[in-house]
Amino acid sequence: MTLTINNIACITVCIFLGLVPGNFSYADNVKPFWTEKSSYIEGDNLYVVGVASNTASIEAGRMHAFENGKREIMNFTQISNLRGLAIITQMTYEEKVVNKYNVYRLMYVDYEDINSLKIMNFEQTKKNYDRYQQKQQEELNFKKNAINLLSKNKEELARLDQEYYKYASNYQMASEKALRYVKVGMSRKEIESLLGPPKSIQKHYSSYVYDLKYGKYWVIFNSADTVDCLSTSRSCVKVSCNNDNTRCTRGTDVSYYN
């Protein structure tokens, strides 16, 4: 077959345009070298590759790839909080597999920014630690004060218990002595010599006669200043007496005429 100049020109143009059958592919369909990497340093920048596989759309893949790229930065730098760090996307590469998309996103950050962020995070961590230590110390001091106060309260309660039991014992003893020794007609001097000073007094008969309190009993005196009765109330009960008229009651009040 004889080739003319026109035939040769046509074949040349067809090869250039990729119309001749064969394995030739466009440069755009060849994966960039960086898609095979997870991270690398070039110049002053740290480059990372975020990958999202089998996503429903390119937009969703780009979003997932960005988040995965951030995780690559965290893993490489050992920084858990990237807030304030400028993350720049240099380029993306997408490939369609059936009805899904694989997306590769090349991102980079300035290494000086990483160092600054590390310093800032360290300072913030130190502040948080100092605050935690201060809070721990405050809680420890509070517990110490609470323990000291509890100890003092226990001592005070023990002292009050002793005083109470002493008072209760004295109160019971004074009641028993009054019931045993007080007799109708005794003088005030006789009562005080037997029972000692009273716990309290009550004046009556226009305030020139006063009764004496021993334990739960009142020693009631008449106008002649001698014992009229021994009573749990502040007056002598004259009703509901027993057969020998030595014990009379009215409600909870009891009077003894011994």
Q: Quickly list DSSP for 14-71.
A: HHHHT-SSSS---GGGSPPGGGG-SEEEETTEEEEEEEEEEESSHHHHHHHHHHHHHH
Q: Could you read off the pLDDT of 65-96 as tens digits, one per residue?
A: 999 999 999 999 888 888 889 999 999 999 99
Torsion of CA 177, 179, 181, 182, to 10 degrees: 130
**Residue 61 within any structural domain of the chain:** yes
Instruction: Work out the mean pLDDT of the chain and round it to a whole number.
Output: 81
Q: How far apart are CA 178 and CA 192, in angstroms?
A: 11
**pLDDT of res. 205:** 63
Q: Domain end: 90, 117, 144, which one?
A: 117
> How far apart (Å, rounded) are the C-alpha atoms in residues 193 and 196?
6
Backbone angles phi, psi at 174, to 5 degrees: -65, -40
Instruction: Answer whether residue 72 is part of any domain.
Output: yes
Residue 55 has what pLDDT? Answer: 95
In a domain, 21, yes or no: no
113 lies in the same domain as 35: yes
Q: What are phi and psi of 130, to 5 degrees?
A: -60, -40
pLDDT reported for residue 19: 34
In a domain, 171, yes or no: no
Which of 69, 87, 117 corresponds to the end of one domain?
Answer: 117
| Residue type, position 95, single letter | E
% of the chain at pLDDT higher than 90: 29
Whether the model clears a pTM of 0.95, i.e. scores above it, the answer is: no
Cα 204 to Cα 226: distance, rounded to the nearest angstrom:
13
**In the listed set 83, 117, 151, which residue is the last one of a domain according to the structure?**
117
C-alpha 26 chain-centroid distance: 65
In the block, which residue shows the tokens 């059936």?
98
CATH code for the domain in which residue 103 is found: 3.10.28
| Residue pLDDT, tens place only, 123-176 | 877 888 888 888 888 888 888 888 888 888 877 777 777 776 666 678 888 888
- The domain in which residue 232 lies consists of 182-256
Within-domain flag for 19? no
- Is residue 202 in some structural domain? yes
The H-or-E segment that residue 80 falls in is none
> Can you give the pLDDT at residue 12?
34
Where does the pLDDT of residue 29 fall: very low under 50, low under 70, confident under 90, or very high at 90 and above? low
95 and 54 Cβ atoms separated by less than 8 Å? no
Q: Examine residue 110 and state whether it is found in any structural domain, yes or no.
A: yes
Q: How many domains does the chain have?
A: 2
Within a domain: 138: no
